[in-house]
């Protein structure tokens, strides 16, 4: 079980006072939020006597932030929590690492929570094998025929997968040529996943592959497509199907050589929390695709937003050696990029709180509402008007337990 606040020597009943509250959907103004035993007890209710008061004057209380696209480990989850991210949605992992990691998360209070699809379906030498050289991965399970898909799906669910992922990538945006997953395998995975009430998400970064996976019936796109300008037909098809999109502008900026990560690394609110190695990683870029493709990604984001498509904030933050990203810090950069792409600050905040919680069935988080988990982030300033204020993290609680504001020495 998650350690209680009493086990950590802290009170488990407190009221946050004086802070403006963004509840995941709307700005409530300055109201009290009461927490007891890891749960939000009341919002704008009567203040009980004798309870610990936490002064949030001049600050904004947010739901714990959710990064809807990462590839993670214990160090990364610990780092994310210091930046106010209380949940990461991993988008591909080795079960040999994720299964024990999830046990560790359940027993600890200094790591962000995590969900995962386990291993994604990709050809034997397909994406992202070319990016994971030296990561020590065991052999990946895969499927080459439709009749092998049920066993693949059952295997991932047995490993604890919360959702499934397929990867349809020919590699040209990464400056390479890769075997591409056959359309009939994508369709079969969707069919088998849905038969088991499990969402199926797709990596598809081009117009052609996105069109293919949308036709196959996937539930969400884990990246935007940016090889060329979007088509109105594809945008309308995504909207009509109710598919959500995680644009991952952070990684697209890196792929196209945009210095978004380097700019983020210069912020003292970031540099004070990252090791020199992680700062170097954040400052780099992949620079594998033309610079103008980043503009295509922003235009696509705006078109999806206008069409009413649910947009989720995610970064694709991964391991050291995946340049342009750093767990925790990059989600704040992603929020800035969403605003650059036409979102209001409040719309960007929804993309990192209530919207991913709703689309991933995480009904216990993503909102500040009585009865939900007390996953909370207190930031100085007002990010509902100035999105950069999300980086001014003052306090973090995961399940009502205060989280660290800097990585522990072991993590650094």
Q: Which domains does the chain have, with CATH numbers?
A: 64-365 (3.20.20.140)
Instruction: Give the rounded distance of the alpha carbon of 214 from its chain centre.
Output: 21
Angle made by CA atoms 227, 70, 118, in degrees to the nearest 5: 105
Q: How many Cα atoms occupy the beta-carbon half-sphere of 333 within 13 Å?
A: 31
E-assigned strand segments in 154-248:
164-167, 200-203, 220-221, 244-245
Predicted confidence band of residue 333 (pLDDT cuts 50, 70, 90): very high
| Three-state DSSP class for residue 42 | strand
Closest CA to 16 of 400, 283, 301, 361: 400
Express each pLDDT in 369-402 by its tens digit. 999 999 999 999 999 999 999 999 999 999 999 9
By the 8 A CB rule, do 328 and 78 touch? no
Closest CA to 396 of 174, 153, 79: 79
Express each pLDDT in 31-66 by its tens digit. 999 999 999 999 999 999 999 999 999 999 999 999
Residue-level pLDDT at 11: 54
| Three-state DSSP class for residue 410 | coil
Express each pLDDT in 94-149 by its tens digit. 999 999 999 999 999 999 999 999 999 999 988 887 777 777 888 889 999 999 99
pTM of structure: 0.95
């Amino acid at each position: 079980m998650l350690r209680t606040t009493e086990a950590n020597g802290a009170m488990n009943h407190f009221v946050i006072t004086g802070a403006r509250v963004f509840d995941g959907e709307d700005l409530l103004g300055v109201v009290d939020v009461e927490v007891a035993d890891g749960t939000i007890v009341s919002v704008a209710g009567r203040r009980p006597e004798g309870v610990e008061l936490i002064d949030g004057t001049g600050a904004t209380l947010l739901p714990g932030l959710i990064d809807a696209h990462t590839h993670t480990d214990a160090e990364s989850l610990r780092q994310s929590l210091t930046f106010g991210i209380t949940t990461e949605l991993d988008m591909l992992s080795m079960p040999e690492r994720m299964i024990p990691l999830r046990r560790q998360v359940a027993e600890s209070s200094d790591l962000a929570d995590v969900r995962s699809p386990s291993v994604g379906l990709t050809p034997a030498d397909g994406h992202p094998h070319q990016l994971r050289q030296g990561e020590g991965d065991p052999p990946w399970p895969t499927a080459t025929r439709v009749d092998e898909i049920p066993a693949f799906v059952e295997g991932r669910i047995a490993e604890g997968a919360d959702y499934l992922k397929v990867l349809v990538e020919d590699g040209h945006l990464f400056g390479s040529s890769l075997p591409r997953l056959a359309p009939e395998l994508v369709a079969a995975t969707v069919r088998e996943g849905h038969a088991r009430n499990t969402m199926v998400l797709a990596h598809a970064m081009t117009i052609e592959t996105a069109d293919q996976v949308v036709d196959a019936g996937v539930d969400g796109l884990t990246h935007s497509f940016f090889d060329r300008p979007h088509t109105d037909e594809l945008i309308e098809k995504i909207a009509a199907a109710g598919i959500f999109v995680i644009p991952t502008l952070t990684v697209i900026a890196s792929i196209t050589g945009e210095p978004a990560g380097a700019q983020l690394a210069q912020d003292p609110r970031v540099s004070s929390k990252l090791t020199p190695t992680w700062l170097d990683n954040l400052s780099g870029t992949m620079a594998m695709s033309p610079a103008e493709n980043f503009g295509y990604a922003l235009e696509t984001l705006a078109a999806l937003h206008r069409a009413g498509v649910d947009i989720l904030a995610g970064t694709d933050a991964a391991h050291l050696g995946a340049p342009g990203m750093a767990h925790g810090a990059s989600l704040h950069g992603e929020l800035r990029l969403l605003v650059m792409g036409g979102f209001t600050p409040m719309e960007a905040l929804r993309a990192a709180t209530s919207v991913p919680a709703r689309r991933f069935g995480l009904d216990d988080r993503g909102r500040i509402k009585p009865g939900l988990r007390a996953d909370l982030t207190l930031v100085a300033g007002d990010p509902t008007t100035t999105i950069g204020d999300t980086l001014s993290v003052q306090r973090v609680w995961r399940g009502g337990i205060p989280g660290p504001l800097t990585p522990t020495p072991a993590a650094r």
